[in-house]
Amino acid sequence: MSAEIKSHITGLLTRALAKVAPQQPGSLISLERPKQAQHGDFSSPLAMQLARKLKIPPVETAEALVEAIPPSDWVTVEFTRPGFINFRVHPAAKQHTAKIVLAAGERYGRSDSAGARPVIVEFVSANPTGPLHVGHGRQAALGDAIGALLESQGWRVTREFYYNDAGAQIRNLGLSVQARIREKLGARAEFPADGYHGDYVREIAEKFLEAGNTDGEDLEAVTRFAVAELRREQDLDLQAFGVRFDSYYLESSLYRDGRVQRTVQALIDAGKTFEQDGALWLKTTEYGDDKDRVMRKSDGTHTYFVPDVAYHLTKWERGFTRAVNIQGSDHHGTVARVRAGLQAASSKWERAVPPGYPDYVLHKMVTVMKGGGEMKISKRAGSYVSLRELIDEVGRDAVRFFLLSRKADTEFVFDVDLAKSQSEENPVYYVQMAHARICAVLEQRKALFAGRDPDLAAADLAPLIGARELALLQRLGEYPEVLENAAAEFAPHQIVFYLRELAGEFHSYYNAERILVAEAPLRSARLALCLAVRQVLRNGLSLLGVSQPEKM
């Protein structure tokens, strides 16, 4: 139900509480949705909470509160044992929700509660060692949608891609391309044991030679060229996926600018390190880790979480007191270490980094199925299905919608055949079809009743009293709360679930009732309801980065 109706009910309870127990705080008031429809649209346990404080039986307390609630044109009030106060929302209040939707338009459901505070959302951050795979696609869909959800609540979002362009993996990429270059030139080529075997490595080698290079003996030049080529390809894949970034950060810059060394020194100066067996250790157990961790190995190289700590310090220094990282579940072990390093490095600051910084959303990988079996591995990519292949196979909308349709930390099987089907079982088709059906109805209205119907935004909605109509109106009213919760919990799958339910209720209504009836008042009311449903479908789909086709 709309925030306005919830606010109205809360106001009624506040006035009743002021009469029955004026000394008690308004924070006692809460609303929940009854599990059984016969108990109304909203229920409050206020009487039972108040009874414990007043030492009066809950039923007597509930009766007193109900008597003290002022009359309302929007709700009917009753109480049930053991002391719940139940509210039934009148049709007029539910009809008012459609007015709110039509008046707010694309702003419906949005809030400015965050006050334009900055938040950085880091996602994808793929090593530039190969094409993006489907796991990167899930991360891209999650990160982009989480950014949109936070923006819907008033946050000023910066989307950032962190390029891991340093370390052993990058060296192996350079050696792999170098080996293919030598192979191309007919020279002896020893392929690295941990090298990259996809056909894309051969493509990069060919491009390197086509660029005028006579050989590949300069490993640094080969590596730079390979990283640039793969960065360009990844950027094109993300553009095809409809994902944009506001900023990019290079891991290599942390070493070049001395940030890694300064971070290590800050940890030493804070007294949070010790030396043992020729290595430098961080006392992560002081921050809840199960054991202390090596920061700098005996050979002088740093372990992988040290540049991560340095990188996150830059986020804090850039003014991002809130940060969200979307990463694969294989990063689970880094969470405690990065947080410990941040707290330790900033322990002497006046405003130290808080224990829960940054927030993490860890997602599990995706299995792609086609024709009843796991989709064949891409020869070009090497050992996985690439994101671009999946987009080419089923389209961007289906990929984004499907990858957002489950909670991030659950395994997901992507059914290519289902994603391509035009049936009710295909969730993205089902939701988009609801939008297209409404567009078709509105076009038919133009042809049949051009100039004879009033402005739908001003239509009288009193005729909307059917069970399906009231259910649709109630579902529309739930959208702002769903959006708020999805943003707070970094859970875009909640929007997917909501859209499927809204589409399902609309399809049932469409199949059961005629919209373009002869009676003008009823026709206008039903068209206004359709218009409101279309608006909420548009709002929700746009947050997910999915298009809203007018014809299908």
For residues 486-516, b (16+ Cβ closer than 10 Å) or e, as one string?
Answer: bbeebbbbbbbbbbbebbebbbebbeeeebe
SS3 letters across 282-294: ECHHHHCCCCCEE
Nearest partner of 360 among 338, 342, 387, judged by Cα = 338
- For the domain spanning 3-89, the CATH number is 3.30.1360.70
CB 456 within 8 A of CB 77: no
pLDDT at 37: 80
Neighbouring-strand partners of residue 308: none
Domain spans, the chain: 3-89, 424-544
pLDDT at 349: 81
Neighbouring-strand partners of residue 78: 86
pLDDT digits (tens, 9 = 90+) for 215-242: 999 999 999 999 999 999 999 999 999 9
Integer Cα distance of 358 and 335 in angstroms: 9
pLDDT digits (tens, 9 = 90+) for 43-67: 999 999 999 999 999 999 999 999 9
How far, in whole angstroms, is CA 429 from its chain's centroid?
20
- The CA–CA distances, whole Å, from 75 to 62, 92, 97, 416 equal 17, 9, 14, 47
pLDDT at 281: 97
pLDDT digits (tens, 9 = 90+) for 173-188: 999 999 999 999 999 8
Mean pLDDT of 126-137: 93
Nearest partner of 146 among 537, 546, 492, judged by Cα = 492
Integer Cα distance of 482 and 494 in angstroms: 7
pTM: 0.92
Q: Give the 3-state secondary structure of residue 78.
A: strand
Q: State the amino acid at position 227 in one-letter form.
A: V
DSSP-based helix, strand, coil % in the chain, nearest 5? 55, 15, 35
The CATH superfamily assigned to 424-544 is Isoleucyl-tRNA Synthetase; Domain 1 (1.10.730.10)
Mean pLDDT of 407-418: 96
Q: Is the pLDDT higher at 409 or at 451?
A: 409
Is residue 282 over pLDDT 70? yes
Integer Cα distance of 198 and 201 in angstroms: 6
Integer Cα distance of 390 and 21 in angstroms: 62
Q: Around 351, how many Cα atoms within 13 Å sit in the side-chain half-sphere?
A: 6
Give alpha helix (H) positions in 105-215: 134-152, 168-184, 199-210
Is residue 2 over pLDDT 80? no
How far, in whole angstroms, is CA 451 from its chain's centroid?
42
pLDDT band at 451 (very low <50, low <70, confident <90, very high): low
pLDDT band at 257 (very low <50, low <70, confident <90, very high): very high
pLDDT digits (tens, 9 = 90+) for 185-224: 999 888 999 899 889 999 999 999 999 999 999 999 999 9
